[in-house]
Chains A and B, each alone.
Chain A
Amino acid sequence: MTLVKINDLHKSYTTGGEITHVLKGTDLRMKKGEMIMVMGPSGSGKTTLLNLLGGIDGSDSGVLVVDGLDLTKLGKKELNRFRRERVGFIFQFYNLIPTLTAIENVELGLESILGNSKEMRARSRKYLELVGLSDKARNYPQELSGGQQQRVAIARALAKEPALILADEPTGNIDEEREESIMGIMKELQHQLGITFLIVSHNTRLKRYMDRTLILRHGKLHEGS
């Protein structure tokens, strides 16, 4: 079953009066439960692709369907809802809210879907446990290590059980040992829950966790080795 369908996707930016074409007719098909990594040189458009898939940026033209929704046709509110319910983000710098504890950060993503309910709290605890941080639930982000913060970010993304998780350099800010632990968790959840992952990274070590690796070059995706 195809979860992501991208056809002839174009995206350009205007900077200082100069137009830069980032995506020039990109195509992509992702099956549900697949874990794909997109690699490419800096400025190749990896993050742009991620942002388009996450509905936080709009394309110029082309087809962009995620989980049956044509993102190019959605309005601001619908895109917000799409992000809330169907997609989860994991960032290189975690982007946790510093004024919320670990468990509250996880709850933050869930609250808009489940309300301030028992189910929300139970599910948050469950995912925090899944990433091995149940004992750190009441800690604030600044009281956690980089790896622990990234695990909270993963739990936050996973807790709402989205169709697609988009990760931008998820191990870019942690050491090799923690990288293994993080990727192990993500791989395990992919298998357990059938979650689809699209990971953007420069890190070739991550290839071994991937079902496929794609290279974004000259605005188009190519199968990698």
Chain B
Amino acid sequence: MKPITKSVVRKLFKMKWRVFAISMVVSLAMAMFIMGLYSAVIFDHSMDTFIEETNFPDVFVSLSEPVDYSVADGVVSNIEGIDTYSLRLKLDGTYHYDSDDYPAVIIGIEDPAREDISRLLLKDGELFNGNGEGNVIAGMEDIGAKVGEVLSFSTIGIDFDITVKGSVQTPEYMFASAIQDSSLPLPGHIVILYMDLGELQNITGFGINDILLNVADGQRDPVVGSLGSLPVSEIIFQEDHPSVVFMDIGAGKMRNMFPLFSVIFMVVGMISIFMTFYRIVMNDSRYIGVLMSLGYSRLKIAWAYMTFGTILAAIGSIIGMILGFLFTMGIMSYTMSMIGDIRVAYPMAPMPFVLGLIFSFGSVLISVGIPIIHITRQSVRQALDHKPKTKILTVGTAFSGLSKTRLMGIRNTFRNPARTALTVLVVGMSIGISGSWIVMADSAWGYMVDQVNQDTWDIRVDFSSPISNEDATSLLDLNETEYVIPFAYLAGQISGGGNSDSTFIVASDRVLETRDFELESGRLDLTTSVITNKLASELGVSQGDRITITVGAKTLETTVGGVVFDILMQAVYLDRDAASSLVDRENASSAFVKLQDKEDIDKVAAEFEEMEGVAKVTIQDDIINAMEETFGQGMGMLYFFFFICLIIAMVVAASAIIISTMERDIEFATLETLGIPRRKVIGSMLIEIGIIGFFSALIGLPFAYLFGKLFAIVMEDVLYYFPIVFAFSAMAITFAFGFLFVIGSSIFPIRYTGKLDAEKTIRERTAG
């Protein structure tokens, strides 16, 4: 190694733990950068893997009434183009637990170990293997649906018990949600039971009423067309299945959010890395001047410092890659647990790490290179005479009453105003990013409550098969009800604006009574169509645009009459005339019910559940509770980001302050020779850091709103649209935590000055 390189490398060894501290700036910036990119890749891969490894069916066929197994088998087995199929008996039922009743879906299947179609992934225990045994979808353990328990069910008025042998996962019920067709993964209490088909047939006396198909490429339409001899009530293609719809319209777009984090952290990381390395090199100006006087070329000097930067970048990168992977693991396991506890599949994806390495080495080398160019452009004399800027802000006698050490603290903050401003800006940005999570959580929560309160109905009832509007009304019209509004409810595809998406269609003449719709644009004109804002933004359509709605083979072309805000539904609202080409205008599949007194909700809901023909009863308050629960889980992730960003702010602040402390070590050594008590020296530093912390936290507030708004745009895809609103509590939390974390960073410079060798410092700093 050349002497010049050797000397710079030795400088590194002398810095000891400071090398680690400086590397942490690189590490954290890189870790967040990698986390953003790698999470996006893992998200996609995990979703694809989940769908693929479970052999999720291409087509879901529901029959309006059970048919004999051999009849269905005879039809399906003779259709060309079907790769594999599964015949099931699927019934709505009730699960009884602890004197409470919960909705249940009971599915009879031939072979739980089947892997070629709708494979059940075992989470716990084992697959059932005979009568009296079953498997439940994982996630309902809190209501007793867990391995080893004997569960009581009833369906079509028959009670039976099943011993749970294991809990399973399947994309078919990724979100065992009791909330009908929510575009958010809202939790709810519903038990999905898989049991032996033969046993369920024996209990109920039915054949099968549910068919899963995997078909050969391009054969889907002919296959569906060949099912005509069976009493088909509903055909759902894979891309229209609620789980896939959710992954496409909701969770799938989460992948857009993570790279955005990368970009923001990259900016903050680059600025803080630059600040750190620029100052380290500028502090060496005198030494660089000596090298210049000895005839070293700019290239050789630059090379030596590049070695210095490369070593620091390498240490930072190694830690950064490890941290990046750990952060990714943490965030992905949390994200996946929120959307069905899907197994996180880690792909071999070197690109995020390669980009991370390019980012960290690039940032460090640029940060080292710029000051080298700056110094070596000067004359030797200028380089030798270089001193850190010591511009002092003259405050006159304004603070003359203060103790001198406190005065030092105040003035040290402003001795280099430009540098302080940059430090405050970068730390403030980091605090702002932290605060944006709190701002977002506050705004999203408030908006969600507002939105949910706009619904006027108390109970939604879904019928097991369509019934006439009159029958629906008379069935549900009890003494306690204020209104019953039957409606037709369908799943379909919508296209417009050159795009296509899944949607739900709500057709009713009285739908406007069920909700205080908040218009984003246009009019509440149900004779054309009113669509939710999420759907409008997905398609890129607005009022007056033409859209096409497709349900199975039926098609409706209409115009967007208005766009309404809705956080839960991706839906199109129409009156019955407008929807007549899609639905039978006389029949209803569901109904909204408003009660005169909310106190009666549980009683009335229980009464509805007992009624024949009622498949599902949803209480409006359950949606609110489910959303609260979802938010409770989501808050964990938000707080994770909040604290990670605060730690970054702390490291950025610490790295800035430690370097300015190092520049002033002679002053701290002088204080020691003067016998200034340690507590006063610490006090002086705390004042300086406190001022930086105060202004950083203050500047962090507008940044919190700015980044909050930016993230909210992304979250609109992932979650729902919500406006960012000012909330004092979010501001207070951001300010307080931001300030405290910056103050916390003082531990590094305080420790540094505590270990300072006054004698050595004075000798070295005043030598020559």
The residues of A that contact B666 with a CB separation of less than 8 Å are 95
- Among the 9-residue stretches A17-25, A105-113, A183-191, A215-223, the one with 4 or more Cβ atoms under 8 Å from chain B is A105-113
Inter-subunit contact A83/B390 (CB<8 Å): no
Tell me whether B415 is interfacial, beta carbon within 8 Å.
yes
Name which residue of chain A comes closest to B409, CB basis: A99
Inter-subunit contact A89/B674 (CB<8 Å): yes
Name which residue of chain A comes closest to B673, CB basis: A89
Inter-subunit contact B677/A80 (CB<8 Å): yes
Inter-subunit contact A95/B762 (CB<8 Å): yes
Inter-subunit contact A83/B675 (CB<8 Å): yes
Q: Mark A30-59, 1 if CB is under 8 A from B, else 0.
A: 000000000000000001000100101100
Q: Whole-angstrom distance from the CB of B688 to the nearest CB of chain A?
A: 10
Tell me whether A82 is interfacial, beta carbon within 8 Å.
yes
Tell me whether A161 is interfacial, beta carbon within 8 Å.
no
Name which residue of chain B comes closest to A76, CB basis: B678
Give the CA-CA distance A211 to B666 in the complex, in Å: 32
Interface size range on A against B: 20 to 34
Which of B415, B667, B676 contacts A112, CB < 8 Å?
B676
Tell me whether B763 is interfacial, beta carbon within 8 Å.
yes
Tell me whether A85 is interfacial, beta carbon within 8 Å.
yes
The residues of B that contact A54 with a CB separation of less than 8 Å are 673
- Among the 9-residue stretches B298-306, B317-325, B397-405, B741-749, the one with 4 or more Cβ atoms under 8 Å from chain A is B397-405
Tell me whether B407 is interfacial, beta carbon within 8 Å.
yes
The residues of A that contact B402 with a CB separation of less than 8 Å are 116
Inter-subunit contact A84/B674 (CB<8 Å): yes
Inter-subunit contact A91/B762 (CB<8 Å): yes
Name which residue of chain B comes closest to A93, CB basis: B766
Tell me whether B470 is interfacial, beta carbon within 8 Å.
no
The residues of B that contact A47 with a CB separation of less than 8 Å are 763
Give the CA-CA distance A160 to B676 in the complex, in Å: 13
The residues of B that contact A109 with a CB separation of less than 8 Å are 674
Inter-subunit contact B404/A83 (CB<8 Å): no
Tell me whether A181 is interfacial, beta carbon within 8 Å.
no
Inter-subunit contact B404/A107 (CB<8 Å): yes
Inter-subunit contact B390/A57 (CB<8 Å): no
Give the CA-CA distance A211 to B676 in the complex, in Å: 31
Inter-subunit contact B390/A100 (CB<8 Å): no
Inter-subunit contact A56/B759 (CB<8 Å): yes
The residues of A that contact B758 with a CB separation of less than 8 Å are 56
Tell me whether A142 is interfacial, beta carbon within 8 Å.
yes
Tell me whether B672 is interfacial, beta carbon within 8 Å.
yes
Inter-subunit contact B407/A83 (CB<8 Å): no
User: With A51-B759, A142-B390 in contact, is A104–B404 under 8 Å at CB?
Assistant: yes
- What are some 23 contacts across the A-B interface (CB < 8 A)? A56-B672, A56-B673, A80-B677, A84-B676, A85-B675, A95-B666, A95-B667, A95-B762, A95-B766, A99-B390, A99-B407, A100-B404, A107-B404, A108-B405, A108-B671, A108-B674, A111-B405, A112-B675, A112-B676, A112-B677, A140-B392, A140-B394, A142-B392
The 7 closest A-B pairs by CB, nearest first: A84-B675, A83-B675, A99-B411, A108-B404, A95-B670, A93-B766, A57-B759
Could you tell me which B residues sit within 8 Å of A by CB distance? 390, 392, 394, 401-405, 407-408, 411-412, 415, 666-667, 669-678, 680, 758-759, 762-763, 765-766
Known: A99-B392, A156-B674; 16 extra A-B contacts, CB below 8 A, are A47-B763, A56-B672, A80-B672, A83-B674, A83-B675, A84-B674, A84-B675, A93-B766, A95-B669, A95-B766, A98-B390, A98-B667, A99-B412, A108-B408, A116-B403, A140-B392
